[in-house]
Chains A and B, each alone.
Chain A
Amino acid sequence: MTVVSPEDSSTLATQVRTIPGVTNIFTPLPALAQLPGMVATATGMADDGHVADILISTDENDITTLSARIATAATESTPGTARRVADALLAQTPPTTRVIIQVARIR
Chain B
Amino acid sequence: MTIPDEANRTLDCGKTVQELADYLETGRRPPDPHIESCPECLNALEALERAGRLARDLVDSDASRLPAPPESWFERIFATIHEELRAGRSFPISHPDPRVQITVTEGAVRALLRDSGDAIDGVFISRTEIIGDAETLGAPVEINLTASLRFGIAISTLTRALRDSAYAALAAHTDLHVTAVNITVEDIYNDTREQS
Contact = CB atoms under 8 A, between A and B. Distances in A.
A82 B95 CA distance: 9
Contacts of B174: 78-79
Contacts of A27: 37
Interface stretch (A10-18, A41-49, A66-74): A66-74
B105 A79 contact: no
B99 A90 contact: yes
Given A78-B173, A79-B174, A79-B175, A103 B43 contact: no
B95 A83 contact: yes
A26 B37 CA distance: 7
A86 B97 contact: yes
Nearest to A99: B100
Interface in B90-143: 90, 93-95, 97, 99-105, 107-109, 111-112, 115
A19 interface: no
Given A78-B104, A83-B95, A104 B112 contact: no
A104 B43 CA distance: 9
Nearest to B105: A104
Interface residues of A, number: 27
B42 interface: yes
Contacts of B51: none
A40 interface: no
Given A79-B94, A86-B97, A104 B102 contact: no
B39 A101 contact: no
A101 B102 CA distance: 5
B66 interface: no
B101 A99 contact: yes
A71 B166 CA distance: 19
Given A29-B12, A29-B87, A101-B102, 20 more contacts: A24-B39, A74-B115, A78-B173, A79-B173, A82-B104, A83-B93, A83-B102, A86-B97, A86-B100, A96-B99, A100-B101, A101-B100, A102-B102, A103-B93, A103-B103, A103-B105, A104-B39, A104-B40, A104-B105, A106-B115
Interface of B: 12, 37-40, 42-43, 46, 87, 90, 93-95, 97, 99-105, 107-109, 111-112, 115, 172-175
